[in-house]
Structure 1
């Protein structure tokens, strides 16, 4: 698999992140990787699933991030569903 650097923002946060992920990671996994840097620090933890949005479309959590059409340095938004 290949390194896929993404820019990311978690809903409610103020900082844009640069997150290196693997293009074979699931969308759900990428959401958790983003949340690791934000939730419990600047955004309160919630008992809800984390979803990703790319170009206005919510991505399927079971899809791989590479197959979902996300490319290097694309912007994704993580949010609680």
Structure 2
């Protein structure tokens, strides 16, 4: 498995972070890795699911990284599902 660097922001945060993800991760794992850098620090923790958005489309939690079309240094957002 390979580490892939992504530019990522958590919705409601003011920072964009460089977040390494594994090419074997699903979108639930990617969302958790992005959330780790914002939730409880600059974004209030909530009891709600977290998802990944790429090109303004919400990706299913069980979608694999390979299926997502996300590439090295692409910009993604993670955030709470309303």
Root-mean-square deviation (Å) = 0.7
Q: In structure 2, what is the Cα distance between the partners aligned to 1:28 and 1:45?
A: 17
Residue aligning to 1:59: 59
Q: CA deviation at 1:66?
A: 2.3
Matches of 1:30 and 1:50, distance apart in 2? 10
Whose helix proportion is higher, 1 or 2?
Answer: 2
Counterparts of 1:41-80 in structure 2, within 5 Å, are 41-80=41-80
> What TM-score do the two structures reach when normalised by structure 2?
0.94
Local SS of the residue matching 2:6:
strand
Q: TM-score of the superposition, structure 1-length normalised?
A: 0.95
Task: Structure 1: state its 5+ residue gaps.
Answer: none
Structure 2: runs of 5+ lacking an equivalent: none
